[in-house]
Structure 1
């Protein structure tokens, strides 16, 4: 069933897009991560222009994160004070990222920058995850005990001024650290169309030293607000949000997340992390190939509107 996307100005098979959202939602539910970093590359592979894939993915991430954030809030798993500081940083980062996105569109380099950013970020994260998952599997086979987790913020965070207490997370640190982390994620949200949970969660655990019970909920709290503002910025400034595309992705993503969560209960977490690492590396490799191979059509003709 073909459906016309008004912003992308192309027809797509609606069932394929829903199936893509279903697959990403399944992986998100199974691995416990947001699917934005997979949705955008897969849309690009399908033929959606990168700028529209980024903006529409951010829209889908907003809708998909609301229910998760509400569930964690009801369970007491959200540090609202910490979340508001990170939201403040995220809004500043989103505004800066939007200006950068517009500039890249003006000079015609937005597609290349999106691709290179994904290759660098996914490649790095994939390699780190692969290293950690292989080490966990080796410990599992040898019967060695897992290292005890530590909760201590990074020394660079400890030297920052103007400390304040975050009772829900059990921290006494400078708000500058979570603000800067939020700002970085805000920029990446605009440029890449991701929620940023795959950066926020490790940063809150290993840089800020937050309690694990509040990390995921606080991350989702920040993601909801920053991706909503990012969607608004893309819609008003770059006009690249295709709501039809986002709605199709959201329909599949909601169902897929439930199925993935059930599947995750049947598999060992070490093997899940290994599978996710290989998937992330495969996506990064595919993007790298697309950026380096000579296209079959070297030239295209575009009509500029007066």
Structure 2
């Protein structure tokens, strides 16, 4: 059954769009990454304008993150205090991201910025996660004990003031880098249509040394709140949220996230990181390919409003 998306101005197959939302919701619940880094490029691939894709995906991520966060909360894998500190910076970053998005859209550069940003972030992060997870798996197969790494005395954030102990995550760090990390995630989420989990989860694991499952659950809480706020701001400020598209993605994403969260909790941490690294790298390479390949339609035609006073013959009103 084909339906018409009013804001995107595009006819799509409803069941295919529902299946797309369910698949990305599964990934969201499994890895705690919000799914926006995958959903936004996929929507752009099928013809949805980037501005509409970024804004509408925020709703899908909020719904799927709620479902996944609830599952992790029931398992006791969410650090509430750490989530609260991250949200302090995340909400401020969301407001700043929507403001920059509005400015870039007015300048006509939002599509280019989104594409380049996706290639840079996804390719770099995917390679780093893939390399680390392969080393961890090799150590496990060799019978060596896993590396238990905690921030050392030379870590820069340990020398900053306002230190707080987060008992659930078993860390003792300054509030300043945690708030800053939340701001970056909120900013990127609003600007690029990503929940930020694919950045936040590795940062919590490798920088703050939060346990993998707790990092995923905490990331889902931050994604839920920041993406809900981004949806409201994008709808009221830019008017780019397609309600029909968002509803279909929301229903599919909520259902898929429940199954993904259960699958993720039963897997080893190093295997989770390996799969996430491969997924992030693959999407980054695909976005990069679309930026450099020759488009099917080389020429584009735009209709501009002609000024009434331009090129008028003399003697005519």
Per the normalisation by structure 2, the TM-score is 0.85
Instruction: Return closer, same or farther for 1:259/1:162 CA change in 2, 3 Å cut-off.
Output: closer
1:54-107 CA-to-partner distances (Å, cap 9, x unmatched) read: 111111111111133234444443333332221110111111111110111011
Of 181-190 and 20-29, more deviation after overlay is shown by 20-29
1:201-241 CA-to-partner distances (Å, cap 9, x unmatched) read: 22223323445564333222222111111111111111111
> Is the Cα contact below 8 Å between 2:32 and 2:68 reproduced in 1?
no
Give the corresponding residue for 2:57: 57
Give the corresponding residue for 1:232: 232
Give the corresponding residue for 1:16: 16
Partner secondary structure for residue 77 of structure 1: coil
Instruction: Return closer, same or farther for 1:292/1:183 CA change in 2, 3 Å cut-off.
Output: same
Instruction: Return closer, same or farther for 1:155/1:267 CA change in 2, 3 Å cut-off.
Output: closer
Cα distance in 2 between the residues matched to 1:248 and 1:95: 26
Give the corresponding residue for 1:123: 123
Give the corresponding residue for 1:176: 176
Gaps of 5+ in 1: none
Cα distance in 1 between the residues matched to 2:211 and 2:26: 27
CA-atom RMSD in angstroms: 2.8
Cα distance in 1 between the residues matched to 2:260 and 2:10: 30
> Is the Cα contact below 8 Å between 2:25 and 2:64 reproduced in 1?
no
Cα distance in 2 between the residues matched to 1:186 and 1:58: 12
Partner secondary structure for residue 185 of structure 1: helix
> Is the Cα contact below 8 Å between 2:149 and 2:209 reproduced in 1?
no
Of 261-270 and 227-236, more deviation after overlay is shown by 261-270
Instruction: Return closer, same or farther for 1:161/1:271 CA change in 2, 3 Å cut-off.
Output: closer
Cα distance in 1 between the residues matched to 2:231 and 2:223: 12
> Is the Cα contact below 8 Å between 1:68 and 1:220 reproduced in 2?
yes
How many equivalent residue pairs?
A: 306
Q: CA deviation at 1:127?
A: 0.6
> Is the Cα contact below 8 Å between 1:23 and 1:253 reproduced in 2?
yes
Cα distance in 2 between the residues matched to 1:109 and 1:103: 9
> Is the Cα contact below 8 Å between 1:30 and 1:261 reproduced in 2?
yes
> Is the Cα contact below 8 Å between 1:151 and 1:210 reproduced in 2?
no
Q: Which has the larger radius of gyration?
A: 2
> Is the Cα contact below 8 Å between 1:153 and 1:209 reproduced in 2?
no
Of 211-220 and 31-40, more deviation after overlay is shown by 211-220
> Is the Cα contact below 8 Å between 1:58 and 1:195 reproduced in 2?
yes
Cα distance in 2 between the residues matched to 1:20 and 1:251: 11
